[in-house]
Chain A
Amino acid sequence: MVQVPYFTALTTYFAYALLFAIGHIRDFFSCLLWKEKVADGYAPLTGDFGDFYIRWVYHRIHDCFNRPICSSPGAWIDVVGRERLGTSNWILKNTGGVRRCLNLGSYNYLGFAAQDEYCTVKAIETLERFGASTCSGCFDAGKTTVHEELENLVAEYLGKEDAIVYGMGFATNSSTLPALVGKGCLVISDSLNHSSIVVGVRGSGARVKVFKHNNPEHLEKVIRESIAEGQPRTHRPWKKILIVIEGVYSMEGEIARLPEIVAIKNAYKAYLYLDEAHSIGAMGQTGRGICEYTGVPFADVDILMGTFTKSFGSCGGYIAGSKDLITHLRHTSPCHTYATSMSPAAVQQVTSSLKVIMGRDGSRRGAEKLRNLRENSNWFRQELLKLGCQVLGDEDSPVIPIMVYNPGRMAEFSRECLKRHVAIVVVGFPACSLILERARFCISASHTRKDLEYAIDVIREVGTIMRIFWGKPTPDLLADVPSLAAKLAAKTQ
């Protein structure tokens, strides 16, 4: 559990209360002056809390998000300058200026986002041969030899019999889960699972129970209770139980406690679905993800899922598993058949970067990248701890969040860093709860030590102004703060 400093919580809530009060007052008066133009007979298009939040909180800080860039998302990026059109107008307009910033925001773990001597050339070759799109689903005319090559390579890399590739990581989850579980099945989901998993589970019609974030003890408790009770009302036994976890949690930087979870899964005959979006290519000696990192045999995880948007600098996602499972998915997962297949050039980008990682390009660049990433991440984490930041997550994880707590401070932190040419990501509601705002650094193998030293200098300077150094380092912070999305999912299932 994050120990929110008492005074910070108080001021944060106070800030929210003030914002909301002012928002309501202004809404009230603007209502009196001019009625919102909703045509007669219609309900307002957006009338809920979300809309209110956007207008009165989000618009004050939205310059910290969606910042356009005009370069490849490599280690250094060109951020396009923006400014408000007027004081009462919240629309941001490009000023035309660009600022070259150190990129601590993109998920460019292995540095394949930038132009690469090996991969970019191959991707362009494939583009010339296959075009940008196939305009067909994978069963129609969407599968090309490059798709086939990638599916085989992913399967080989992960030591599974077969693999299936989708054009989008989000859709991989949201379309695979409904093809695996349905009515009468139970999904036990980590409380901080990604939105795509929540969407997938919701789309499946299966029951969902949430266990405390990364807490195998609670998982075991939930699973025991569930099996003992059976389905609600009918008390029939569950058809099957699927545990869904992530390898590295993108907002916490935490590494899943896989060995314990696998032991539970085996003991209770459940199935395990592991989302490796942030760990594939980034964790483990040879980048094979969290199984390799924790020493769990790949065979113990029934369904390995991952995306190509992070370490491989491309787009799309995969599922790896047994031959029959993948064949089943090909015939039942809607996004495989109905959606346009992944762009051949993007497929080639993944294949080439995988080859680099596996050392098949004839160089040692892959191993070097992996080592750089690990060293960079650990060095950066140590430095932040030394500064006195409240750092979340585990050693070796390339995702390093620090707590900022207050939305105003969060925004100002981001702006000040940007002024000093460091582009960082800050995360607030709805991605985390209202008072657990944080800043997040994603480390890349392509950062040099000098880059990172520069970043630390900037964080030291800005952090002192913002007072985000909470003193003593406190590891193991987040335990049971269910994300809003997970809570909502649990409530509404």
Chain B
Amino acid sequence: MASLLTTASWPPTLESWKLALESLFLNIITDGHLLVETLLVVVIVALLLQKSYQPQKRPLSEAEIDQLCEEWEPEPLHPPLTEIMKTFKEPVLESAAGPHTVVNGKDVINLTSFNFLGLIGNEEMQRVSRAAIEKYGVGACGPRGFYGTIDVHVEFEERVARFMGTEDCILYSYGLATAPSTIPAFCKRGDIIICDEAAHWGIQNGIHLSRSTVAWFKHNDMDDLEAKLKAVKEEDVRKKRRKVVNRRFIIVEAICQNTGFVTPMDKIMELKKKYHFRVIVDESLSLGVMGKTGRGCTEHFNIPVQDVDMIIAGMGFAFASIGGFCCGSHKVVDHQRLMGAGYCFSAALPPYLASNAIAAIDQLEMYPSLLTKLQDNVRLLRKALQDTPGMVVGSNENSPVIHMYLKNSTNSFGGDFMVLQKIVEKMLDDKSVLLTCTKRMPLDRVRWPASIRIAVSAGHNDKDLLAAAESLKVVAASVLES
């Protein structure tokens, strides 16, 4: 077969062509039936081509178009800047974003970076990354298809698949490009997606790009989810479909980035099986956090990992690297290697970041105590934050990200943001604690109140955490009660 493909010289000789054509024409001419039919077709075509009586639309003349173009006034390229945009100034770090960092020349406690296991600046990881830069240079200089695949990429994929216990894994060069590539690779127009309404923008974007029919269920509300699933089944019954022809997915985050709540995956799996849906789980915040050995929600809830169709995750979290990946069966992965837009049409991840992430997994396996330390820290800080004046502690107790909301909300995201931002700025200026407010892009459909977002790390010590909580109480009191 391959040889057939490769020869351009499938040689139909000129003679044989002539013969074929001649015999065809001879047939038409000698066969009366064919002649009549051909004539009929010609008549029908002629009739079809005749213009029907319709008032003729007069096209615009060139002069008129000129006039219209002259008159057209576009909006400015972007709307005027808002007050927040003009005044907001982000912190600029002068050292690594570890548990402590330097801002404005000052050493500060960093409660902002998603450095859950404290692996930023980890010595072994630094060593591995340095060696990788020395060997491979910085960039991969091409997409995976075109010599951008470097052996460490392959090694990374094998390592993650082994770590997760899945058949295979595909590496993307950017965490936030993972969901927008994975979802449209499998979901097309006509397919059905049921998704949590608080899912992060990457998932929303992926769903939008897929053009599938989507229903959003109330955040973490399993009854609402079941109602949505039931509606799909009922539709099947009503339309008397015997066979399911469209793909159906439930998409959730194991720990929601926007709210810090843990999704009850056991219930999701039960519903998924009952209603014959596939499930895509975003484990960005739960890998290296949940489960006894950090394997995420499947380990935490004791779910066989094969039952989850796709697991996607970004690596800018516990793994202290950059990029994203999707784990699943061979079929799931292979399909994305050709159909994942962010995989095919973008340069591969810089090899040193892949090496770095491999080293992170090694660290996690070698030092499982990091996981307990993180959970201890979360517990400690949550407790210390409980009676912060004017604020309530949100999020699930397992979540390494803690959202703190205003007790008396202004009922608008912007309003809350302004107040909280004042607290954040004061914390940095007066108390040397780096915090952050949740930001929401206009393109994001999530409606959830603004909060101060605290990311706990295994690298923090008790003293820092308690001091930060104490400072927050003082600052919150002064800002909210003045």
Task: List A residues at the B interface (Cβ < 8 Å).
Answer: 8, 11, 14-15, 18-19, 22, 39-46, 48, 50-51, 54, 58, 60, 65-74, 77, 79-80, 103, 105-108, 112-116, 119-120, 123-124, 127-145, 147-148, 167-171, 174-175, 178-180, 194-196, 199, 202-203, 224-225, 227-228, 237-241, 267-271, 302-303, 307-310, 312-315, 324-325, 327-335, 337-340, 342-343, 345-346, 349, 406-409, 411-412, 423, 425, 430-431, 467, 492
Contact = CB atoms under 8 A, between A and B. Distances in A.
Nearest to B74: A240
B255 interface: no
Contacts of A40: 276
Contacts of B230: none
Given A124-B134, A313-B139, A145 B335 contact: no
A43 B341 CA distance: 23
B444 A334 contact: yes
B74 A270 contact: yes
A45 B139 contact: no
20 contacts: A42-B247, A51-B335, A66-B144, A70-B150, A72-B137, A108-B141, A124-B133, A131-B98, A132-B321, A132-B322, A135-B316, A167-B174, A168-B346, A196-B345, A199-B341, A224-B65, A325-B78, A332-B442, A335-B176, A430-B338
B331 A45 contact: yes
A480 B220 CA distance: 50
Given A113-B139, A315-B347, A349-B138, A66 B174 contact: no
A43 B247 contact: yes
B377 interface: no
Contacts of A124: 130, 133-134
A340 B322 contact: yes
Contacts of B247: 42-45
A389 to B, nearest CB: 15
Nearest to A314: B139
A89 B460 CA distance: 51
Given A170-B177, A195-B344, A314-B138, A60 B1 contact: yes
A127 B200 CA distance: 29
Contacts of B140: 73, 309, 315
Given A199-B180, A224-B65, A331 B85 contact: yes
Nearest to A407: B5
A169 B84 CA distance: 27
Interface residues of B, number: 125
B96 A169 contact: no
Given A168-B177, A331-B88, A412-B6, 12 more contacts: A65-B145, A65-B146, A73-B136, A73-B137, A106-B148, A113-B139, A129-B95, A136-B113, A267-B69, A345-B129, A345-B138, A430-B338
A131 B120 contact: yes
Nearest to A73: B141
Given A41-B244, A130-B95, A334-B176, A227 B439 contact: no
Nearest to A223: B69
B23 interface: no
B147 interface: yes
Interface string B63-88: 01100110011111111011011101
B139 A67 contact: no
B214 interface: no
A325 B69 CA distance: 25
B8 A406 contact: yes
A167 B322 contact: yes
Nearest to A132: B356
Contacts of A302: 77
A339 B77 contact: no
A334 B443 contact: yes
B228 interface: no
A54 B336 CA distance: 11
B467 interface: no
Contacts of A313: 137-139, 141
A323 B458 CA distance: 39
B278 interface: yes
Of A70, A202, A340, the most chain B CB neighbours within 10 A belong to A340
Contacts of A67: 147, 149
Contact of B175 (A60, A70, A330, A339): A339
